[in-house]
Amino acid sequence: MNNRDLAKNILEYVGGEQNISGLTHCATRLRFVLKNDSRADLKALDQLEGVLKAQNSGGQVQVVIGAKVDVVYDEVKSLTSGEFGGQGESADNSGPKKKRNPVNIVLETIAGIFTPVLPALIGCGMIKCVATVMAALGWMEGSGFLTIINMIGDCIFYFMPFFLAVSAANRFKTNPYLAVALAAGLMHPVILEAASKIKETGVDSIDFLGMPILLMKYSSSVIPIILAVWIMSYVYPVVNRVIPRFLQVLITPMIVLFIMVPLELILLGPIGSYIGDWLTGGINYLYGTVGVLAGAILGFFKPIMVMFGMHYAIMPIQIQQIASVGSTMLLPASLAANLAQAGAAFGVFFLTKSKTMKSAAGSSGVTALFGITEPAIYGITLKYKRPFFAGCVAAGLVGGYFSLVDAKATAISLPGLLSLGTYTADRYVYIVIGCVAAIVLGFVFTLIAGIKEDTDGSKSKAQATDAVASNQSAVTMETNAASSSDMLIVSPMTGEIKPITEVEDQAFAQELMGKGIAIVPTEGKVYAPFDGVVEALYRTKHAIGLKAANGVEILIHIGVDTVSLKGKYFTAHIEQGQTIKAGDLLVEFDPEGITAAGYNTITSIVVTNMQQYGDVLTTATSGPIRESEPLIKLIP
């Protein structure tokens, strides 16, 4: 499935454009705010090719894509008008009205504002890391090159209100250029220079119509500009309504700025600065009194926050700490959490017997070392559960240790090996020790906890035989020269066998969805290959997910890109969640009609939980086959 088709399917399963009131993305996931959550099919989203995980968390439907999330996001945007929900009667607001949890609204808003700024934050943070390492090694000390490198690393932090103004304006659906003007009001030299000379002049305020404007430095500030843009999102439409239409272009911006700039300088700016200072002071106090416990708690829960997409909620506090004191003690706990999940993934790599899972665990573990943990969490450690919590425990221990040695980060960056130059402690070697400990403890705790695969794989051959026999299904004992523990899945249709590599869909051809075989059908019927349950039936009826009583899971995908037919030419005889018997008719389809519509009918049959087996083999790679004849061999 290509990125555009994936975007189309995601749009369909979240309830269509008319059900979307907001959409953002972060480093790995799409974040939808829906009008009616009940219209989203999370199970179907979860099983889409190219989706690692779908969940409803913090008032958002989050679709975890991975590294290519920005490409899929662009495809989703290109398929929509950009003004989600439409206007008037075209908007579909059917269904119960959601009662929004205020905490979820705040977290969702924070994430929505900060995620678009992440590329600039991370980029400047990594450049700051390079500058720090160069300075520590004495390279090009005092040179213009190092001066410029430091300037690039600092620019987003110094001019943070401008970046947040644009992002907040998009979030609150107000004019982004007026929002930038508000940021300019906070950052104007009249304010900043006067604030820097308070000790010299003794002047700490400017009179404005009898009201004092406190002189404060708003560089690197977070909360003041967010508050100002939020308030402006209400002021602007009110002003626009009372101004005659032919004067709106001239008068509305003038009045809005005349109201908002003094308001932010007199009231919102100081309030936001004080809130930021209180938050920073509170965190500093917490770490100063029970620092080891605070670091341990944050380290343990950081992967859980990532799992629910809540990890960006602490971003404003981290930025405010760096702005106030030049460093943050929160990022070291995140570093411990990321490296511990990497260690847990490497533990799964060591324990698993599946070549496919070894490859996935190894690659996602390396990715986690550099700060992106979603592939490791969703694809590996959460799958087996015990490794995930083994990593959490390891992160808790190392997070407490980092607090003990006064570990801090001097820049915002992805918490991983590449950003180690931005971390400090009582002695730098303590940072290195903590990183090694996080990886090793995550690895060792995973080895101690084990993975469920080992338990499932420890069944005796007799137990496996009994389980298969009890199914009275196509997952049966092979009757020829194969070992008695080998199992067979029979063909769900009649047709011509083809290698899976001939399917014109890279997700299947490259066995990303699982190992299996393809069949060009000569009859338009799909039968149940075993006793089990219908795990998934796509709305378009072109794909079916089945699970046998003994745990074997297969996906039957009829045709290539046939999702675009939206169910035309397909008739389903089963429902999702229905119990099935071997030989039951599942779906009928019209091969001639599908072909005439310009689509290939080649059908992919793959084992989607192949990591639980030693190998997945096919009985043949070509030739005719009839329904219920042996097709796929599973070797435990």
**DSSP for 364-397, written as a single string:** HHHHHHTT--HHHIIIIIHHHSHHHHHHHHHHHH
Three-class SS state of 562: helix
Q: Which helix (H) or strand (E) holds 489?
A: strand 487-490
Token readout for 143 is 């040179």
Three-class SS state of 279: helix
557 classed as catalytic: yes
Return d(Cα 413, Cα 346) in angstroms, integer: 24
Task: Assess contact for 594 and 569: CB atoms under 8 A.
Answer: yes
Query: Which of these is catalytic: 25, 311, 542, 557?
Result: 557
Three-class SS state of 26: coil
Task: Assess contact for 489 and 625: CB atoms under 8 A.
Answer: no
Query: Which of these is catalytic: 25, 26, 129, 435?
Result: 26
**DSSP for 115-182, written as a single string:** GGGHHHHHHHHHHHHHHHHHHHHTTTTT-HHHHHHHHHHHHHHHTHHHHHHHHHHHHHTS-HHHHHHH
Q: How would you classify the pairing of strands 476-477 and 623-625? A: unpaired
Q: How many C-beta neighbours within 10 Å does residue 5 have?
A: 18
Q: In what order do the strands lie in the sheet with 20-25?
A: 20-25, 29-34, 60-64, 53-57
Q: Beta partners for 61?
A: 32, 56
Task: Assess contact for 538 and 564: CB atoms under 8 A.
Answer: no
Return d(Cα 106, Cα 99) in angstroms, integer: 14
Three-class SS state of 586: strand
Give the residue numbers annotated as catalytic, written as ranges: 26, 557
